[in-house]
Amino acid sequence: MNTPSILNDVTTRLAALRQEMKGQAIDALIVPTSDPHLSEYLPLHWRSREWLSGFTGSAGTLIVGMEKASLWVDSRYWTQALKQLEGSGIEMCKISGGSQIPYLEWIGAHLPAGATVGMDGRLLSLNQGRLLEEALLRKQLSFRPDVDLISPIWKGRASVPKTPVFEHTRQFVATSRIDKIERIRHLVKESGADWHLLSTLDDIAWTFNLRGNDIEFNPVFIAYALIGPEKTTLFIDNEKLPDEIRRSLVSDGIGIMAYEDTEKILHRIPSGSTMLLDPRRTSYFMYRQANSGVKFVETVNPAVLLKSRKETFEIENIRKTMIEDGAAFCEFQAWFDDAIESGNSPVSELTVAEKIEQFRSKRPNYISPSFGTIAGFNENAALPHYQATETDFSFIKGDGLLLIDTGGQYLGGTTDMTRVIPVGLPGQEQKKDFTLVLKGMIALSETCFPQSIPAAMLDSIARKPLWAHGADYGHGTGHGVGYFLNVHEGPQGISYHAKPEPQTAMEEGMVTSVEPGLYKEGRWGIRIENLVVNRFYRETGFGKYLNFETLTQCPIDTRCIEKDLLDENEIAWLNRYHEGVREKLMPFVPEHVRNWLIRRTEPL
């Protein structure tokens, strides 16, 4: 439950918002978790939904009517939302089906025909905007996607970040920005378009070989880019560009304009031109700024596909990064085992995150975490996206399981791993659950598959051992991972909830997580996660086949395993994995950690 002061703030803010709505003749306002670049992680400036509702989860949509309000969240956040919304006057509503607009019926039930629904059109994609407008029309409701009612009432709002950008240097980059832009321009031309608007920040950072620090955990910067038939323009706040980078961009033939000029330039694109834009990654607002005489080709951003297929040079850097990251985590685990065994000072979930950061920060080319470390003990781990806070955390004591999901941003790659560590003596049911999850991870990790298969079609391989015991998990099995970029990257995603669309095809060089889990509410949660890269396996009369190379280098705790549940092939896979982990990490861990590493990688 939120504190009385936070609940007071929420009540006051909702009242102020309703006054603004009344003045603008808005009967309901939709407040998503988004920014003008449709980012997953948001700068403080754009955390409007959190500010209004008091709910701190990373996803959800708030609907505010004149009398009632509702927050729509998926299964990852049901427990958290119930706690944080208690006493706020906001109803928690569950997203459990595949509806693209899950809150539509709620709006229809609470508004009369002819009412007006408002939204800031910068905060929803073109696809979402069209769907919403059409759906509201069918309900005889008007839609105004041009209202910003948050800015007038949010006093002391954080400013839009203006941190300096920096080069992702040639030491870590295989292809120059000039070559990347030409590759994109070629694909744009092939699609039948002349112009291409880039809105998503990781696509822009990758294209220009630049990185930033505008969004926590993601080394990106706030900007737009427009690639034309002959010229490329970067729209960015002047304060963000150091002189050396500005000169380098100009030398590469790239124009630089103010961030605020994006809309004006879009409107000046000549009538009769054709623009490629990605309707999932371009805001409804930006689409509406283009000259009415411009035609559109709507398809996935070429940069999304290009950056997902890591080059050989990048994969080699990622391998090195995984060794450094694995060594840092081994240092942490050795410290943790000693701390728990000695009992000299209490260890909390917050301590875990702090210590992991301490050991990572000593590693070469380390920049920052790639997301907030999830360290959940026993029942807290049953919340897949649990985050300990200064006011809500647990100490790690007694018997149980500690789940740690953590990752780092390095100049040579982005990491993401999950491990479960036993504290005291794990119970038989816990060991069974852990082993079923491990069986799923091994099954998917060692599979081979046809090149270009939609990623979603691989999901059931990891779930089969769990399904056989009547168990499952609510999240996807895998997501793409960037190269010193966002820890969640498309286009591939291993989840049966996702549509098996052509752009999600599994191709060589893609880096993806494999992370099955099992969660028992109020008791414990288990997830085991490695990163893998798609590589060529063989070619037959039926075409090319790929398999996975496991990139993550870190022991899987065998103290949690029920050995009788593993078959010979699974045991052999685990022993090979641990042999490789020991061989790779031994030169990179301090001497006092080596004995620990040997013990944790002994054959099963």
Is position 150 within any domain?
A: no
Residues 430-458 have pLDDT tens digits of 999 999 999 999 999 999 999 999 999 99
Read off the pLDDT band of 5 (50, 70, 90).
low
Read off the pLDDT band of 385 (50, 70, 90).
confident
Among 104-108, 191-195, 239-243, 465-469, the least confident range = 104-108
- Given a contact cutoff of 8 angstroms between Cβ atoms, the answer to whether 380 and 526 are in contact is no
Is position 420 within any domain?
A: yes
Read off the pLDDT band of 106 (50, 70, 90).
very high
Nearest-angstrom CA–CA distance, 521 and 519: 6
- Given a contact cutoff of 8 angstroms between Cβ atoms, the answer to whether 233 and 265 are in contact is yes
**Could you tell me if 474 and 570 lie in one domain?**
yes
**Could you tell me if 302 and 325 lie in one domain?**
no
Nearest-angstrom CA–CA distance, 92 and 71: 5
Stretch 488-515: mean pLDDT = 94
**Could you tell me if 302 and 331 lie in one domain?**
no
Is position 157 within any domain?
A: no
Stretch 383-405: mean pLDDT = 92
Is position 155 within any domain?
A: no
**Could you tell me if 484 and 434 lie in one domain?**
yes
Share of the chain above pLDDT 90, in %: 91
CATH number of the domain encompassing residue 563 = 3.90.230.10
Alpha-helical runs (H) found in 301-364: 302-308, 312-342, 349-360
Nearest-angstrom CA–CA distance, 397 and 409: 31
Q: Label residue 543 left, alpha or beta by phi (over 0 means left) and psi (-120 to 50 means alpha).
A: left
Strands 195-198 and 210-211: unpaired
Is position 337 within any domain?
A: yes
Is position 171 within any domain?
A: yes
Per-residue pLDDT, 1? 52
User: In angstroms, what CA-CA distances link 507 with 114, 311, 401, 456, 549?
Assistant: 49, 12, 36, 13, 13
Read off the pLDDT band of 403 (50, 70, 90).
very high
567, two tokens = 């078959």
Edge-to-edge order in the sheet of strand 61-65 = 90-94, 69-73, 61-65, 28-31, 116-118, 142-144
**Could you tell me if 448 and 353 lie in one domain?**
yes
| Residue where a domain stops, chosen among 89, 109, 144 | 144
**Could you tell me if 290 and 374 lie in one domain?**
no
Nearest-angstrom CA–CA distance, 557 and 555: 6
User: How far separated are the first and last CA of the chain, in Å rounded?
Assistant: 44
Collect all residues with Cβ–Cβ distance below 8 Å to 413 and sequence separation of at least 6: 314, 317, 318, 320, 321, 322, 483, 484
| Residue where a domain stops, chosen among 267, 286, 307 | 307
SS3 content of the chain, % helix, strand, coil (to 5): 40, 25, 40
**Could you tell me if 418 and 517 lie in one domain?**
yes
Residues 145-156 have pLDDT tens digits of 999 999 999 999
- Given a contact cutoff of 8 angstroms between Cβ atoms, the answer to whether 168 and 36 are in contact is no
Element (H, E) at 245: helix 243-251
**Could you tell me if 353 and 239 lie in one domain?**
no
**Could you tell me if 276 and 327 lie in one domain?**
no
Range of the domain at 544: 312-600
**Could you tell me if 387 and 503 lie in one domain?**
yes
**Could you tell me if 26 and 171 lie in one domain?**
no
Is position 209 within any domain?
A: yes
Collect all residues with Cβ–Cβ distance below 8 Å to 283 and sequence separation of at least 6: 36, 37, 38, 121, 122, 123, 124, 125, 126, 129, 199
Residues 36-95 have pLDDT tens digits of 999 999 999 999 999 999 999 889 999 999 999 999 998 878 888 998 999 999 999 998
Q: Label residue 120 left, alpha or beta by phi (over 0 means left) and psi (-120 to 50 means alpha).
A: beta
Number of domain units in the chain: 3
Half-sphere exposure of 225 (CA within 13 A, CB side): 26
CATH number of the domain encompassing residue 33 = 3.40.350.10
Stretch 301-313: mean pLDDT = 98
Is position 553 within any domain?
A: yes
| Residue where a domain stops, chosen among 259, 281, 307 | 307
**Could you tell me if 388 and 474 lie in one domain?**
yes
